[in-house]
Amino acid sequence: MPTPRTTFLSVFAASLADRLPGTWTSEYHRHAAYKDQFPAVERLWGLGHVDHIVSQQVLGHDAVLNGPHGQQLYVADRPRYRRQFVVAPLEPEGFTPDQVSVVREPNGIAVPDDPVRAAAAVVRRLLPRYQHALAAVRNNARPLPSPVRRCAPPAGHGHREGHLAPGRNLHHPGRRPARRGPQRLVRLRLPGLPARQHPPPAGHP
C-alpha cells in the first residue's frame, strides 16, 4: 500500500502539471529496485544537485511531466528536505549526442511542496532556460544549406549581347582602325630661335 509520502508525490506532480502553461500530464512511477530509477537518471539534463540526488540516493519513486512540444520534467523527492521536491528537465529524445552536448544544460531546481509556489518557481526559473536549450538543440538538427554551384557559361555566350569582355579588340583582324578626325601637327617654337620661314605657295607673286 502506498505510503503517505508516495501519495503526496503523485498528488503534488499532478497538481504541478495542472498549473504549468499549456497542456501538461503527469506519469507517476514506483520503482521496485534501485536500478529502476536509472533510465530517468541517464536523461537528466544537467549536472547540478538534482543529478547528485538521483544518482546517489535510493528514491523508490518519481514522476515525469509531459508538456507541449516534447517538453519533459522530472519530479522527485529531495532527501533530508521533507518540505521540498526537485524538478529537472529531461534531455529531448530523437537527437544525436553531438546535437545535445554542445548546448548549455538547463539544470534543475528545488521547489517547495506547495504546488502553487512550485509552479511559479518552475515558470520563472526553469522553463525559460529549458525552452531556450530545446530551441538550440532543434536548430543544431537542421540540415545545413547546400552550397551554391556556379556553372561556367557555354562558349561564346559568356557576356550579354552588347557587352564585351575586358581587353577584347573592337576591330576586325587586319583592318586598321578608323581615324576619328583631322589631326593637327603642333610645332613648338623655342625661345631665342627665329621663326622658320615657309616658302610661298606655287604661283604666289
- How far apart CA 38 and CA 69 sit, in angstroms, is 24
185-195: pLDDT as tens digits: 445 555 555 55
- How far apart CA 196 and CA 198 sit, in angstroms, is 6
Q: What is the CA radius of gyration of the chain?
A: 42
153-193: pLDDT as tens digits: 666 555 554 444 455 554 555 555 555 555 554 455 555 55
Q: Is 29 in contact with 13 (CB distance < 8 Å)?
A: no
Structure pTM? 0.68
- What is the pLDDT averaged over residues 5-24? 91
- pLDDT given at position 57: 84
- pLDDT given at position 162: 47
Break the chain into its structural domains and give their ranges.
4-140
Beta bridge pairs of residue 64 = 27, 74
C-alpha cell at 144: 545545413
Banded pLDDT at 38 (limits 50, 70, 90): confident
Residue whose C-alpha is closest to residue 72's, from 63, 81, 61, 80: 63
- pLDDT given at position 164: 44
88-111: pLDDT as tens digits: 999 999 999 999 999 999 999 999
Cα→Cα distances 3→9, 60, 61, 188, Å? 10, 11, 11, 120
